A and B are shown apart, each in its own frame.
Chain A
C-alpha cells in the first residue's frame, strides 16, 4: 500500500490535507510525534506530511531526525508543514533531510501537486521494481 501519513495536532489541518489527498491516496493520520513514529514503523508510508510544532515528547523536527536516522525509513519522502515562516527554519528543515517545506497558510492544491509528483515517481519506481 502506498500510504501517506499526515501528522498534525490540529484535526482541521489533517482534514484539510486528507480531503484532497484522500481522493487518490491511502491516508494515515497521527496527532503527535510519538504516534507518528509508530505509524511510520508499522505502515511504512511512502510520504509523510509533518507539522513542525506539536505538543508532546517529539516535535516535527525530532520525528524527521528519527525517520532519517532509521535505515528502514530514511527514504521516506518528508514534507514539513509549519507555522514558522523564517528562512532559517526552512533551511534547517532541508538540512535535516526534509524534501519540501510548506508554510501555513499553505495552498492544499499546491501540496497535492507536490505529493502527486513524488508518489508518481515512487510508483513508477515501484512498478519498475515489480
Chain B
C-alpha cells in the first residue's frame, strides 16, 4: 500500500518526463530529417553543378583550341599575304595563290588587301570589284599606328552577299614604318556556330565566342545561331579585363535572360573569350525532380512522426487517466479489504472464508487461537481437508463433523440446532460453528466460530444452581407440607385453624409444583436433551392416553379428540411429549374458567417443505392479547395477573424447550375473549409419515 501511494503521487511527474522525452525525440527526428534532406539536396546539387562545371570546362577548352587554331591559321594567311604584298605590290595575284592552294580558302570567305587610301584593291575571289572600305573599322583601326595585333571585327552583315562575316586584319607597314594598307581575311562566323552546334549543351545551352568588348562574334543557343549579340553589361568582362584567364559562374544571361552555368576561357593571343553555358533548369531538372520527391518524402515522414508523437501523447494521457481511475478503484478496494481484514483480525470470533473454488482464502487470527491451528497452514485447503484438520483438534465426542454437515445458513438464531464442537485443548474450549452463505460468487462460504465456553459454562452453572436450589428446598418443603397435613388430620382442630392450615397446605402444594417445574426446566437446559430417550412414538396413541389420564377440573368435559386413522409417528421421548401435552391441556382448562370445550386435533402440515405432525389444542377461554402472546414463553410470566388462576409461569417454557429439542416448533394463535389455539409441530419420521391421498 505504501509503495502504491508513492507510485501514485509520483506518476504525474513521470508522465510529464515521458512526454518531454517523447517530444524532444520528435523534434530531434524532425530536425535530423530536415538536415538530412538539406544535405542530400545540397550535395546532389553540388555534384550536378560540379559535373556540369567539369563538362563545360572541357568543352570551353575544346572551343578555345578551335578558336585559337582558326585565328592562328587566319593570321598565318594574313602575314603571308602581307609579306607577299610588300614584295609584289598590286601585282600580287591572290586568286592565283588561292587556286594554287597557297592560300587555304576553305574557311575564309575572302582574303584581300586594302591600300593606304582605303580602296579594296586585291581579292582572292575571281570576280573582283574595287571599292572604298575606308570607313570600315578593320581599316581605320590600323591607320594611326601598328598595334602588332590582328584585329577581329564585329560580325557584319554583308551589303552585297547578305552573309555574316568577321573581318580579320593586320596593318601593312613599309620598311620606314609608313602605312601601306591592310590585309583583310573575311571569315564566316557560322564556322564557329556549326562547330558549337556539335557540342551537347542541352536545349537552351549556349556556346559563344565573344570579343573582350562584350560583343558576340558567334553565338549558338540550342539550334539557333546568332551573331553580334551585345553582352558588354555582363560583369564577367570587367573581370576578364582584370586579367582572369578562365572561370565559371552562374548568371541570368544579359542577352536572353536565361539562367545558365557558364564557363569561359580567354583565347590566348587574341582579345577573344569562349563561353559555354548550360541552362541551369535543364542542368538541375533531374536534381529538382529528385529533390521534390525527397521533399515530399520528408514531408510525409515529418507528418508521420508528428502524427505518431501526437497519438502517443493522446494514448499516454488516456492510459494515465485510465490507470489513475483504476488505481483509485484498486486503492479504495484495497483500503476496504484492509479495513475488513483489520476488523476480521480484531474480531474475537473466528472466521474462515472460502474462495470460488471452495478453497480456504482467509483465516483470521482468532480462529488460530481458538483451534490451535496455524492460519497460514490452512491456506488453500479444500473443505474436506479443512474438516479433517479441524476434527483432529476436537475431542472425539464433540468433533467437527465437516463443513457439509453444518446447519443450513441463517439458522444461527440460537433457537435452532447449533453445532457446538469441543476442542481437545485444555482448558476446556467449546466453539459454536455457523456458516454464512456469501452473496457473491467470489466468497461463497464463510465459516464462523464463536467461543461459547463461558456461555455454556455459565448456562450449565445456572442450571446446576437452579437444580441444587430446588432440590435443597424440597426437604424443608417436605417438612412444612407434611406437618401441615398431619395437623390437618387432627380431629380436634377448630374450624378456623383448619381453614388457615388448609390455605398453608394448598400454597405449599403450589410451591412444590413450582419446584418441580423449575427442576424440570433446569434439567432440560443442563442436559440439552442428552437424557432424552428417543423412540418412535405413535401420536394417536399418545394423545388418546393423555386425554384419558389427564386430571380434569370438576365439572368440565374431557378434551374432544380428532385424529386421522393413519398412524403418525415421530421420534421423541414419550414422557417429555406427554408432559408437553399435559402442560398445554392444563393451560387450556385453566384459562377457560367459564367452561367451553377443549379440542385436541392431529394433522399433517408442511413447514419449509418438510412434513410435520401438528398437534392442536384449542380452547374457548379468555384468550390473550398480542402483548401477552409475545410473553407466553417467558419464564414465570403469567397471562392472568389477577391470581385467580394458579400456575407457575413455567409450563409453556418447558413446552418450548422440549419441542425445540425435538426439532419442532410451538406456535400460538389467540384472541382476547374467544380462546387460544396452540400448535405443536414435530417432524414426522420417514417411516411413520402418513401418506395422504
Q: Do A and B come from one complex?
A: yes
A residues at B contact (CB < 8 Å) = 10, 12-13, 16, 19-20, 83-88, 103-109
A88 touches B474 (CB 8 A): no
Given A10-B475, A13-B475: A85 touches B516 (CB 8 Å cut-off) = yes
Given A16-B479, A16-B482: A105 touches B512 (CB 8 Å cut-off) = yes
Most-contacted residue by chain A among B474, B479, B482, B523 (CB, 10 A): B482
B519 touches A85 (CB 8 A): yes
B474 touches A109 (CB 8 A): no
Q: Residue B489 at the A interface, CB < 8 A?
A: yes
User: Using Cβ atoms and an 8 Å threshold, which residues of chain A touch B475?
Assistant: 10, 12-13, 83, 104
Given A84-B471, A86-B523: A105 touches B480 (CB 8 Å cut-off) = yes
A13 touches B478 (CB 8 A): yes
User: Using Cβ atoms and an 8 Å threshold, which residues of chain A touch B125?
Assistant: none
Q: Residue B575 at the A interface, CB < 8 A?
A: yes
User: Using Cβ atoms and an 8 Å threshold, which residues of chain B touch A103?
Assistant: 474
Quick one: which of B486, B508, B516 contacts A19, CB cutoff 8 A?
A: B486
Interface residues of B in 457-499 (CB under 8 A from A): 471-472, 474-475, 477-483, 485-486, 489
B477 touches A104 (CB 8 A): yes
12 A–B contacts, CB within 8 A, in A order: A10-B479, A12-B479, A13-B475, A16-B486, A86-B523, A104-B474, A105-B480, A105-B508, A105-B512, A107-B481, A107-B482, A109-B485
In angstroms, Cα B508 to Cα A109, docked, is: 16
Taking CB as reference atom, which chain B residue is nearest A20? B486
User: Using Cβ atoms and an 8 Å threshold, which residues of chain B touch A105?
Assistant: 474, 477-482, 508, 512
Taking CB as reference atom, which chain A residue is nearest B573? A87
User: Using Cβ atoms and an 8 Å threshold, which residues of chain A touch B474?
Assistant: 83, 85, 103-105
User: Using Cβ atoms and an 8 Å threshold, which residues of chain B touch A109?
Assistant: 485-486, 489
Q: How far is the CB of A29 from chain B (nearest CB, A)?
A: 16
In angstroms, Cα B487 to Cα A19, docked, is: 11
Q: Residue B413 at the A interface, CB < 8 A?
A: no
B471 touches A16 (CB 8 A): no
Given A83-B471, A85-B516, A87-B575: A108 touches B479 (CB 8 Å cut-off) = no
Taking CB as reference atom, which chain A residue is nearest B523? A86
In angstroms, Cα B482 to Cα A86, docked, is: 20
Q: Residue B135 at the A interface, CB < 8 A?
A: no
A108 touches B519 (CB 8 A): no
Taking CB as reference atom, which chain A residue is nearest B519? A85
Taking CB as reference atom, which chain B residue is nearest A86? B523
Q: Residue B176 at the A interface, CB < 8 A?
A: no
In angstroms, Cα B480 to Cα A97, docked, is: 29
Taking CB as reference atom, which chain A residue is nearest B511? A105
User: Using Cβ atoms and an 8 Å threshold, which residues of chain A touch B483?
Assistant: 16
Most-contacted residue by chain B among A83, A86, A106, A109 (CB, 10 A): A83
Most-contacted residue by chain A among B475, B486, B508, B516 (CB, 10 A): B475
Interface residues of B in 392-423 (CB under 8 A from A): none
Q: Residue B455 at the A interface, CB < 8 A?
A: no
Taking CB as reference atom, which chain A residue is nearest B516? A85
User: Using Cβ atoms and an 8 Å threshold, which residues of chain B touch A19?
Assistant: 486
In angstroms, Cα B241 to Cα A73, docked, is: 175
In angstroms, Cα B575 to Cα A19, docked, is: 36
In angstroms, Cα B519 to Cα A73, docked, is: 35
User: Using Cβ atoms and an 8 Å threshold, which residues of chain A touch B478?
Assistant: 13, 16, 83, 104-106
Q: How far is the CB of B73 from chain A (nearest CB, A)?
A: 163
Q: Residue B531 at the A interface, CB < 8 A?
A: yes
Known: A13-B475, A16-B482, A85-B519. 5 other contacts (CB 8 A): A13-B478, A86-B519, A104-B474, A105-B474, A109-B489
Among all A-B residue pairs, the 5 with the closest Cβ atoms: A105-B481, A104-B478, A83-B474, A105-B478, A104-B474
Q: How far is the CB of B76 from chain A (nearest CB, A)?
A: 167
Quick one: which of B477, B482, B575 contacts A108, CB cutoff 8 A?
A: B482
A108 touches B471 (CB 8 A): no
Interface residues of B in 489-531 (CB under 8 A from A): 489, 508, 512, 516, 519, 523, 531
Quick one: which of A12, A104, A108 contacts B485, CB cutoff 8 A?
A: A108
In angstroms, Cα B326 to Cα A84, docked, is: 72
User: Using Cβ atoms and an 8 Å threshold, which residues of chain A touch B482?
Assistant: 13, 16, 105-108
In angstroms, Cα B519 to Cα A83, docked, is: 11
Most-contacted residue by chain A among B483, B485, B516 (CB, 10 A): B485
Taking CB as reference atom, which chain A residue is nearest B578? A87
User: Using Cβ atoms and an 8 Å threshold, which residues of chain A touch B477?
Assistant: 104-105
Given A19-B486, A104-B474: A88 touches B531 (CB 8 Å cut-off) = yes
User: Using Cβ atoms and an 8 Å threshold, which residues of chain A touch B575?
Assistant: 87
In angstroms, Cα B479 to Cα A19, docked, is: 12
User: Using Cβ atoms and an 8 Å threshold, which residues of chain A touch B485?
Assistant: 107-109
In angstroms, Cα B532 to Cα A86, docked, is: 12
User: Using Cβ atoms and an 8 Å threshold, which residues of chain B touch A83?
Assistant: 471-472, 474-475, 478
User: Using Cβ atoms and an 8 Å threshold, which residues of chain A touch B481?
Assistant: 105-107
Q: How far is the CB of A61 from chain B (nearest CB, A)?
A: 16
Q: How far is the CB of B486 from chain A (nearest CB, A)?
A: 6
In angstroms, Cα B406 to Cα A15, docked, is: 57
Q: How far is the CB of B577 from chain A (nearest CB, A)?
A: 13
Q: How far is the CB of A89 from chain B (nearest CB, A)?
A: 11
Q: How far is the CB of A109 from chain B (nearest CB, A)?
A: 6
In angstroms, Cα B533 to Cα A82, docked, is: 23
In angstroms, Cα B531 to Cα A84, docked, is: 15
User: Using Cβ atoms and an 8 Å threshold, which residues of chain B touch A88?
Assistant: 531
Q: How far is the CB of A23 from chain B (nearest CB, A)?
A: 11
In angstroms, Cα B470 to Cα A84, docked, is: 10
User: Using Cβ atoms and an 8 Å threshold, which residues of chain A touch B472?
Assistant: 83
Q: How far is the CB of B89 from chain A (nearest CB, A)?
A: 187
User: Using Cβ atoms and an 8 Å threshold, which residues of chain A touch B486?
Assistant: 16, 19-20, 108-109
Taking CB as reference atom, which chain B residue is nearest A12? B479
Taking CB as reference atom, which chain B residue is nearest A91? B575
In angstroms, Cα B576 to Cα A88, docked, is: 12
User: Using Cβ atoms and an 8 Å threshold, which residues of chain B touch A108?
Assistant: 482, 485-486
User: Using Cβ atoms and an 8 Å threshold, which residues of chain B touch A10?
Assistant: 475, 479
Taking CB as reference atom, which chain B residue is nearest A108? B482
User: Using Cβ atoms and an 8 Å threshold, which residues of chain A touch B512?
Assistant: 105
User: Using Cβ atoms and an 8 Å threshold, which residues of chain A touch B480?
Assistant: 105
In angstroms, Cα B478 to Cα A12, docked, is: 9
